[in-house]
Chains A and B, each alone.
Chain A
Amino acid sequence: MKKRFLAVSVSLMLALGLTGCGQGAKDSGQGGNDSTQATTDQAQTEAAGSQEQTEKAELNGAPLKIVYCGTSLSQENGDRAKQVLEIAAKECNAAGGVNGGEVVIELIDGGNDQQAYIDAVLKALEVEGVSAVIGTFYSQYALACADYVNEAQIPVFNVATNFEMANASDYYFTNRCVDTAFSNTMAQIAIDNGVKNPVTLFYNTSNGYNDSAFMKAYMEDKGFSVAEEIAFDNTTTTDYTSIVMQAMNVADSDGILLHATANTDGQSIIALLHQYGYAHPIISNSNLFSDSFVKNVGVDACAGMIGFAEYTTTQENEANKAFQELMFNNSSFSYDTVSWIDASFYDDFSLIVEAARLAGGNDKDSILDGLTKIKGYDGIMTSYSYHEDHSYADYIYLAVVQEDGTIEVSDAVEVTH
């Protein structure tokens, strides 16, 4: 009885499938007949025009599909990206979408190592109808995927800022500015604060080494020097005491140029420098100028830290206020602080949307076209314009952590690309 029922079901399914195929063939045949009816030149022109219109109409209704495949979704940065992108898409769709189509966010867990990220990028590039991809913090991961991205010709926004990324792929972009600009700014801040022979302390990725080399070159170019370059491995080090001791005791040094993340390495190093009473200026990269960082490390430890910020949480800025309100008023946002990471992902999203609007289409080619047209677009972190090095930030800001823990942001420095 069971076998008979199974046989009947399979037969019915086959029959329905064949009917469906037949209908499809019939439709396409009808389409063919229609086109053959256009015999005169005028009719051909009209037909071509109408086809273009139809294609544009189809394009306009097509979704703008953004795939996030950066840091693992179980890690803080990945989780923040997920929440921010979903909120941004919801907001955008509530306002009518883009070019008549809605924004669709797809999330792929990028894992915590290079191979996991490569796998995630490969999946992201194969998502049907993908318009753009938002990728990683780690430039070495991005560089490892450059060939795949070049092959797929899909625009990828990375949070990473290595200057080599744009050389590796025409399809890599970053809303931030490249690390050469960051390093030069840090070195100049050191000089402005009377530091003549600092130690560079940085994590041992290509990004860190580049930064240290650029800072050293800048200092030397201005007639100063770097006392020592000290790298650390932020993936395997938990206890930073001996490294900090070493950096503090470099002979004749008069400051530290710190390139660290806002995680264990940055938090531990700043806390230890305070604990051991380091008396010279500490000039840090932008990762450390966030309210959440100051809250985690402690106001006393962070007070006096100088450097530059990309996202100015305390600045009296309507865009920042609106962004923070948007995040905190949304139940999907589970963090009690808004960081530059949130702003950065939000701006990546906004730049992709803006590119689609400028190009009038939501497909990958339109996004690529639109991205080169962006000029003076006001984002949350700064204003953005397309630059030859595939970066967008027009300005970064000088920053100092005050005694009460607030981050005072003063002059905006125009980024030299």
Chain B
Amino acid sequence: MALFFQQTLTGVSVGLVYATVAMGLMLLLRAAGVMNFAQGNLLAMGAYLSFLFMEKLQLSSGLLMVILALAVFVAVGCVFCSVCFLPFKHAKWPQAMMICTIGAGTVIQECCLLFITAETRSVRPILAGSLSVGGFVIPYQYFFIFGAMLFMMTGLFFLFEKMYCGRVMSAAAQNKYAADLLGIPTNLTTMVTFCIVVCMVGFSGWLLAPVYRVSASLSNFQARAFASVVIGGFGSLKGAIIGGILVGLIEAYSTYFTTTYKDVVVFGCLLLVLAFCPQGIIPSGTKKEKA
């Protein structure tokens, strides 16, 4: 029973990580209409930056590191948008944009390996050690990760549900022509969205680095994030969060049966959801709203 509870805790923890990556995916999809296949690489980039600033450059000021990281993330967001979105804005084949994000992801990964480190490295956590209660162990770093996730989830909820600029971003994504006619600066809106997503995912990678190490394998989270998006409900932010936690739990419980083919179980569940409940657990409200 203790193992079951520990696996549940593990599943929820890693599920929240999937949820963050999935939320970033949803944000770009809702606000820019882009399915971003570089999301995992952006997550890994955040981890690599933490290693660069903390271990390689030995920067001691936390504030300085955050400012520098923010500057890098914004710059990457602008370049990413300029390369993967703007040239394809009027393309007849929207999949070109998606393919371009795959290329961009590879470039980001190779740059990290080339300029920062090709080794699997570790970085210091914000607070070392673990909380151990009755056989359950949670590293303190997880509390920062949970905190950041909650902050991002709340922020995104307010952005899209309560704030005007969120609606503007959604409008720009849903119908660019109409948004242009209404005087919405769609290019600027999209670029801001890209920057927000890169910051969000980048800082998540930064926080995850002490737990999962600094390595390109962090980008593997992306595949599970896609599964989270589909299981939770394509287009729904709440669905992405619930889907993320579900995928984390499925993965953790699957180790009772197989440790090697965890992905088969996760993606098998994904296929089942697609077969029996193609809208996902929480269907997007976009369709209803449009109707």
Contacts and interface: CB of A to CB of B under 8 A. Distances in A.
Interface stretch (B90-98, B237-245, B258-266, B269-277): B258-266
A241 B14 contact: yes
B259 A246 contact: yes
B278 interface: no
A267 B120 contact: yes
Contacts of B59: none
Chain B: interface size category: 35 or more
Interface stretch (A89-97, A231-239, A360-368, A374-382): A231-239
B255 A245 contact: yes
A272 to B, nearest CB: 9
B20 to A, nearest CB: 14
Given A74-B114, A79-B118, A242-B7, A264 B217 contact: yes
B233 to A, nearest CB: 24
Given A204-B260, A268-B212, A74 B113 contact: yes
A237 B252 CA distance: 12
B122 A75 contact: no
Given A74-B114, A231-B260, A292-B119, A239 B14 contact: yes
B260 A74 contact: no
A309 to B, nearest CB: 19
A229 to B, nearest CB: 10
B221 A238 contact: yes
Contact of B262 (A75, A235, A237, A271): A237
B255 A237 contact: no
A267 B263 contact: no
B213 interface: yes
A242 B251 contact: yes
B215 interface: yes
Interface string A205-233: 00000000000000000000000001111
A233 B264 CA distance: 12
B213 A267 contact: yes
Contacts of A335: 119
A83 to B, nearest CB: 11
Contact of B215 (A74, A263, A277): A263
**Interface hub of B121, B132, B217, B256 (most chain A Cβ within 10 A):** B217
Interface of B: 2-3, 6-7, 10-11, 13-14, 17, 110, 113-114, 117-122, 130, 132, 137, 139, 212-213, 215, 217-218, 220-221, 223, 251-252, 254-256, 259-263
10 contacts: A76-B120, A78-B118, A231-B260, A238-B217, A239-B212, A241-B13, A242-B251, A263-B215, A268-B213, A292-B119
